Structure 1
């Protein structure tokens, strides 16, 4: 009997779905789990099955994952047509995809979501994970005091400046001071041959944050060689460490990265509890 391809709604069926209003702007948010909150932002071209898999790992680590819909079709398998989603995002007033644009306005909404999540879930604070197009949003979100565990995964913005940070000068200064004042750490990942997130970009983060920036680099040759069409045809090389280019095998470098991210989150959001999933 032929297998029926999962539909988008099926992929997200084990998460609650609601509209969350922040400052008069409503967006769809999927959530699941219990314990302190983590905001997981999608990568281009949207909330793919690989992003949902990552959300489930966060949920299963004893945390509540919030997955906001920012672009694309929720739960869809990414195809080469995702280039259309990128073009739409690049001209959207919510995003600043190119050098000189400063901090993306959508970050203000995401900071509000972090405040909401902290109020709903409690705990010492909230984690924030950015992926690709949203990678640097996790850093910009630290201007919200609720955010205490930022993870910056293969940030691709600004698209036209490999050494840029896609954050306004004023916000960069405030972020650096907040990181220093509260002793936060910023965990980050990239493949060594990623053409969208280069060594120049990580060097810029290091220059801004100093020792607070923990940038980890994985050999590109270990990336999943058979990612979905969008990543094969449009991204065109190793990029998405914890999602499309992850190899789901115990001990694999990308799986170790995923485990390190979960450990980083649980250490900061479940302080003193070595195994929050069983507490």
Structure 2
């Protein structure tokens, strides 16, 4: 039996772009955006924990092969796929990836269907900053940035960049200042995150909730899972989405 056999397969289309989705659970909506190389068994396991706490989880499949293990070969395959896609901005400074428009549309559709105070979103690694970008023009009120690593941390400027256009950053700051907190998770010595947490603290102030773990691990919720990280995310979703 496949790990996704109990999930409902579907798709979402926005702006002429379609991506497969997997959905399961009931309750307020949470969008789980997978990391490189894709919807791995560890990503599915984390999503199942969110479901068990009373949420409807939707996982878009943006690249990679669902259920494939996080091997070097799968990672190389996914990175190659991302590099040729116009939906992702891996190296550009001060630019929001085009995929954010699609993710915002997905959030709006889920909110219209399920209601409630808003939608949760968690991005990981390459997609970590996408949860922040989803604050713009979408009903996301519980954004989680797990080891945000885009743009690629090559050079001082990219290590600090949030992967947002100036206009989107202003909109994010306005929403955060109006009362929307942002949860961030990382290993303190993870080079992929660069200095983005410093940027987030500077731009968002006290409403950026940083959770640091010692060491040079990377995937806080999946491959290098920290129970405290999972617990903090689940508590954040319950506080924000079950009002």
TM-score tier (shorter): over 0.9
Contact 1:58–1:65 (Cα < 8 Å) also in 2? yes
Partner of 1:52 in structure 2? 44
Matched, 1:241 2:220: yes
Whole-angstrom CA distance in 2 between matches of 1:100 and 1:164: 7
Partner of 1:250 in structure 2? none
Q: Which runs of 5+ in 1 are unaligned?
A: 1-5, 221-236, 247-253, 272-279
Matched, 1:20 2:9: no
Matched, 1:259 2:231: yes
Q: Among residues 183, 193, 197, which one is paired with 1:197 in the alignment?
A: 193
Matched, 1:77 2:69: yes
- CA-based RMSD: 1.2
Partner of 1:3 in structure 2? none
Whole-angstrom CA distance in 2 between matches of 1:265 and 1:102: 28
- 1:85 Cα deviation after fit: 1.3
SS of 1:142's partner is: coil
- 1:101 Cα deviation after fit: 5.8
Partner of 2:115 in structure 1? 122
Contact 1:35–1:122 (Cα < 8 Å) also in 2? no
Whole-angstrom CA distance in 2 between matches of 1:45 and 1:12: 16
TM-score (structure 1 length as normaliser): 0.83
Whole-angstrom CA distance in 1 between matches of 2:78 and 2:208: 30
- 1:75 Cα deviation after fit: 1.1
SS of 2:64's partner is: coil
Q: Which runs of 5+ in 2 are unaligned?
A: none
Partner of 1:96 in structure 2? 89
**Alignment: residue pair count:** 238
Partner of 2:202 in structure 1? 207
Which has more radius of gyration? 1
TM-score (structure 2 length as normaliser): 0.95
Partner of 1:224 in structure 2? none
Matched, 1:142 2:142: no
Whole-angstrom CA distance in 2 between matches of 1:73 and 1:267: 33
- 1:219 Cα deviation after fit: 1.1
Query: For residues 102-129 of structure 1, what are the alpha-carbon distances to aligned partners after superposition, in whole Å with 9 as ceiling and x for unaligned?
Result: 0000000000000111122221100010
